[in-house]
Amino acid sequence: MNPFSLVGKTVLVTGASSGIGRATSVICSQMGAIVIITGRNEVRLSETYEMMEGNDHIQIAADLTNYEQLSKLIERIPKLDGIVNIAGIANPLVLQLTETSDVNEIMQINAIVPIHLTRLVLQQKKLNKGASLIYISSINGNNCAYIGSSIYAASKSALTGFMKGVALELSSRGIRANCINPGMIDTDLLSSGSIGQEELEKDRLKYPLKRYGKPDEVAYAVVYLLSDATQWITGSSLLIDGGYTLQ
Amino acid sequence: METTEFIKNFADQFDDTDASEFTLETRFRELDEWSSLNALAILNMIGKKYSVFLKPDEMKPTNTVQELFDLVQSKLS
């Protein structure tokens, strides 16, 4: 029996329509899991669905910031062995130009949604014993900070604090909770975003391993934390940053 | 889009340079306090006030307030 296998596990992945979420969904399916994918963009969500291997996967398009859609999603899904909270946003925004709506949006998507999702799956008894809860946090806000992302940092460290409380509270049921703290990952979020190509090139060189991470490299860590190999790991934050925060 | 309003919004992104010093001819990259933080703040300001979302690479060739104004104007029309 391969301790890293996900065969027989049912896993929910949020933010599955692109980037880390898409890579995670595909790789979890390759490792044998039944994957329930959700995301806002219906078209891109079905693209992810088409890329997955095996049968019995489920796709449900939903805007998780809409509380009604979130609770409906939880009602529809079967019992889970794992949840991977990936949906998130990042927009460089200096604090002095940050408005109430910006704060609310970033906190809502990055921190409040995973909190409500976790609460709802518990209340609706959708977690199997020994389930693994994974929150994609960030080095930003936990291990370092960047100009133009104080609210993002706040949302990601909020997520880490929440994860610790959950890890302790659910430990008696063998349910584990962990964060993954990635450094910069090459995704559409980056290439389409407001950061210039030249700046990105310069920033890449700040990483001791001289490149950004790949979505697949975060997905492999997700597989690890979902698998039975990590049954004694809870409350931890796994750093995946190419050595960035060593300096 | 009005130039006077644009200059005022532009000047708001600086702390040490007096707002009265800014004109359309101001070469903002040569200001003592110019930094990447101002650049980001100006991009954010243009996004918020004019719903024009410039990338830093697009802003890079501009040196005067007028050039930046023209760039934003070209995106609006």
Complete domains list, chain A, with CATH: 10-240 (3.40.50.720)
Average the pLDDT over each of A137-151, A177-191, B17-31 and give the range with the smallest value: A177-191
* pLDDT confidence tier of residue A194, bands split at 50, 70 and 90: low
- Mean pLDDT (whole number) for A65-73: 96
Asked if A196 lies within 8 A of B40 by C-beta distance, the reply is no
A83 phi/psi in degrees, rounded to 5: -130, 130
Determine the 3-state secondary structure of B64 from DSSP. Answer: strand
The residue-averaged pLDDT of B51-59 equals: 91
Q: What is the pLDDT of residue A91?
A: 87
The shortest CB-CB distance from A97 to any of B44, B53, B57 is to B44
**The pairing of beta strand A237-240 with beta strand A34-39:** unpaired
Q: Give the residue-averaged pLDDT of A169-175.
A: 94
The whole-number pLDDT of residue A112 equals 98
What are the structure tokens assigned to A78, written together? 């079967």
Q: Is A97 close to B43, i.e. CB distance below 8 A? A: no
pLDDT higher at A19 or A196: A19
* Model pLDDT, residue A201: 84
- Check if the beta carbon of residue A24 is closer than 8 Å to that of residue A16: yes
Q: What pLDDT does residue A191 have?
A: 63
Question: Structure pTM?
Answer: 0.90
* A200 confidence band (pLDDT: 50, 70, 90): confident
**Average pLDDT over all residues of chain A:** 95
pLDDT tens for A11-57 read 999 999 999 999 999 999 999 999 999 999 999 999 999 999 999 99
| Residue among A96, A152, A202, A203 with most chain B CBs within 10 A, to mutate | A96
Residue B33 clears pLDDT 80, i.e. is over it: yes
The confidence score (pLDDT) of residue A211 equals 94
The pLDDT value recorded for residue B55 is: 87
Q: Which of B43, B49, B53 to mutate to test binding with chain A, by most A CBs within 10 Å of its CB? A: B43
The pLDDT, as a whole number, for residue B51 is 95
**Average pLDDT score over residue span A158-184:** 97
H or E element in which residue B54 lies: none
pLDDT at B72 over 90: yes
Per-residue pLDDT band at A146 (split at 50, 70, 90): very high
Question: Which residues of chain B have a CB within 8 Å of the CB of A96?
Answer: 41
Average pLDDT over residues A178-186: 96
Are the beta carbons of B37 and A196 separated by less than 8 Å? no
Give percent of chain A with pLDDT exceeding 70.
97
Residue B20: pLDDT band with limits 50, 70, 90: very high
User: Mean pLDDT lowest for which of A149-158, A167-176, A183-192, A197-206?
Assistant: A183-192
pLDDT of residue B56: 85
For the cut 80, the answer to whether the pLDDT of residue A148 exceeds it is: yes
Query: In a 3-state reduction of DSSP, which class is residue B71?
Result: helix
Domains within chain B, CATH numbers bracketed: 3-76 (1.10.1200.10)
Q: What is the pLDDT of residue A202?
A: 85
For residue A110, what pLDDT band results from cuts at 50, 70 and 90?
very high
Three-state DSSP state, B5: helix
> Residue B32 has what pLDDT?
92
Distance CA(A81)–CA(A19), nearest Å, equals 23
Please indicate whether, in this complex, the C-beta atoms of B40 and A92 are within 8 angstroms of each other.
yes
pLDDT at B57: 87
Among A97, A195, A196, beta carbon nearest to B45:
A97
Q: Which of A92, A147, A198 sits opposite B57 (nearest CB)?
A: A198
Give me the DSSP letters along chain A.
--TT--TT-EEEESSTTSHHHHHHHHHHHHTT-EEEEEES-HHHHHHHHHH--SS--EEEE--TTSHHHHHHHHHHS--EEEEEE---------GGG--HHHHHHHHIIIIIHHHHHHHHHHHTT-EEEEEEEEEE--SBTTTB--TT-HHHHHHHHHHHHHHHHHHHHTGGGT-EEEEEEE--B-SHHHHTSSS-HHHHHHHHTTSTTSS-B-HHHHHHHHHHHHSGGGTT--S-EEEESTTGGG-
pLDDT > 90 in chain A, percent: 91
- Please tell me the predicted confidence (pLDDT) of residue B77: 78
DSSP secondary structure of B25-37: T-BGGGSTT--HH
